Amino acid sequence: MFVAETLFRFGREPTDSVRERADRLRWVAENLAALHGLDIRVKGPEPDGPCALVANHLGYLDPVAILAHVPCIPIAKAEVADWPLLGEIGEATGCLFVRRECAMSGAAVLRGALRCLDAGVPVLAFPEGTTTAGDRVLPFFRGLFGVARIADVPVVPMTVRYFDGTRPWIGNDPFVPHYLRTAASARGRVEVTFHAPIAAKGSPEVIAERAREAIASAL
């Protein structure tokens, strides 16, 4: 309980820069992973410098596993802001929350992503826009790929896989019951594979498909 309360208070502290917010999020992710006994295995070289990080999406453990290794600013759906603990931390540390049904919200988030990249900080997105069971990779939304091209930064694809009973969060399963089952389970394992960076050249659609193919190749 003490660790959870500390994370909550830490997340509410003001920050002064994008880099500081990313470093705070990494600290939070590392402690959340330790608190829940999450065994994170990493394959491939971790990126260094500003880039667009994109991954397949299995559930709320995905950003924890990635943020624990790479300080970055994630893009998340607006509903996450209402989740216990995680939403408060995300809002206080500058996560980019998007309402996907709102074009103005999407444009504002992409402008925020561009500011992060210009500041030298990676931006994390799950361009499928929803979670899967990990058996396939859905088509990607193009937004962040266009931003990467404007910022002239590489796209780094990542494949996320769960092992040892860690279950994807899919369908209509409510957040709190799934979280409680996950927290009560034995030590779970998440594997994150960092693929070779992709130059953000050509159309956003072409860049997105290249990233999607790299991610799918490791499933």
- What pLDDT was estimated at residue 127? 95
Q: Which residues pair with 71 in a beta bridge?
A: none
Alpha helices in 80-184 (DSSP H): 86-92, 103-118, 143-151, 175-184
101-121 per-position pLDDT tens digit: 788 888 989 999 999 999 999
Asked if 57 and 149 touch (Cβ cutoff 8 Å), the reply is no
37-91 per-position pLDDT tens digit: 888 999 999 998 999 999 999 987 888 899 999 999 999 877 766 666 666 666 6
Radius of gyration of the chain from Cα atoms?
A: 16
- What pLDDT was estimated at residue 16? 55
Asked if 37 and 92 touch (Cβ cutoff 8 Å), the reply is no
Whole-prediction pTM: 0.82
110-164 per-position pLDDT tens digit: 999 999 999 999 999 999 988 888 789 999 999 999 999 999 999 999 999 988 7
Whether the per-residue pLDDT at 2 is higher than 70: the answer is no
Structural domains in the chain, sorted by start: 2-216 (3.40.1130.10)
Asked if 70 and 30 touch (Cβ cutoff 8 Å), the reply is no
Q: How would residue 172 be classed by pLDDT, with cut points 50, 70 and 90?
A: low
d(CA 57, CA 46): 19
Asked if 196 and 218 touch (Cβ cutoff 8 Å), the reply is no
Nearby residues of 3 by Cβ (< 8 Å), 6 or more positions away: 31, 35
